[in-house]
Amino acid sequence: MQKTVDKLSVKPFGWLDRRRWAIQLLEEAIAQAREMSRAKGGRGHDKQSRLEWTKALSKLLELYAGELKDIKGELWGRNLELGSPLADNTMEFERRFQQRLLEPWTPKDLELVCEDCGVSSVYVAECSIFNGEDDEDHVLCGSCYAKRKANEPKEE
């Protein structure tokens, strides 16, 4: 069995990365179980313990196949048992998330539009204005904020 590279030391965040992490752990466990099931001599290597290691190897291979099947189904966007599209396609969500949110930002992405005058600028910010009972959040430029602040009722 081929050794995996770039072993992750902590449990990763993304769906595909978690599956890859599980595959890597299963590959290591399969290699160890295969070695122990073939061991001939030494302490704990009698027929009964080799049989137990062989059973463990069988279960690990089933888990490994299940992980690969889940990854394949997610990449294809289908439930492999039913042949229908997945209702919750987390892989597609991760792709969109990485394409839209993790791409480099441009200065245009940092601009907000003022609610009152419609100016689009990096100097437009979200502000809290007291309306008499509660604070309301608004996206305003500096001059519109000053106008609203002047018109805001005084707190008692």
Phi, psi of 2 (to 5 degrees): -75, 140
pLDDT of 28 reads: 93
pLDDT of 1 reads: 45
CA–CA gap between residue 8 and residue 112 (Å, rounded) = 39
Burial of 60 (0-12, 13-18, 19+ CB in 10 A): buried
pTM, rounded to two decimals: 0.46
CA–CA gap between residue 156 and residue 154 (Å, rounded) = 6
- pLDDT (tens place) for every residue of the chain, 156 residues total: 445 445 555 666 677 778 888 889 999 999 999 988 888 776 667 788 888 889 999 999 999 998 888 777 777 666 556 555 555 556 566 666 666 666 666 777 778 899 889 988 888 888 877 776 667 788 888 888 888 888 877 765
User: Would you say the C-alpha torsion 65, 67, 70, 71 has a positive or negative sign?
Assistant: negative
